[in-house]
């Protein structure tokens, strides 16, 4: 997730500080001029890429990956 945060312009330390102060990831993103949707999209893309790689590596079946992918957007917020 740290890599994804950096890619969209958020410093992971800022996110940790926000969490410590009771902010959500979306709150921290908005405070830094980044839309929460941008963060969610980046996380979904990164997790989808990892799931696809797990399928290619034989670690997950497509069905298992689809099950895991179903909740990614909700968990990313």
Consecutive sets of 10 residues in the chain, 77 residues long: mean pLDDT of each?
Answer: 87 93 92 92 93 98 94 80
Q: What is the pLDDT of residue 46?
A: 93
Q: Which pTM value belongs to this model?
A: 0.76
Domain boundaries, the chain: 2-75
**CA gap 31, 22 in Å, rounded:** 13
Q: What is the pLDDT of residue 77?
A: 67
**CA gap 63, 17 in Å, rounded:** 37
The structure tokens listed for 15 are 């996110």
Contacts of 26 (CB under 8 A, 6+ apart): 36, 39, 77
């Amino acid at each position: 997730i740290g890599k994804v945060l950096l890619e969209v312009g958020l410093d992971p330390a800022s996110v940790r500080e926000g969490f410590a102060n009771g902010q959500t990831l979306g709150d921290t993103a908005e405070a830094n001029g980044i839309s929460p949707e941008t963060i969610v999209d980046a996380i979904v893309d990164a997790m989808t890429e990892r799931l696809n790689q797990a399928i290619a590596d034989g670690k997950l079946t497509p069905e298992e990956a689809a099950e895991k992918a179903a909740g990614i957007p909700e968990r990313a917020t």
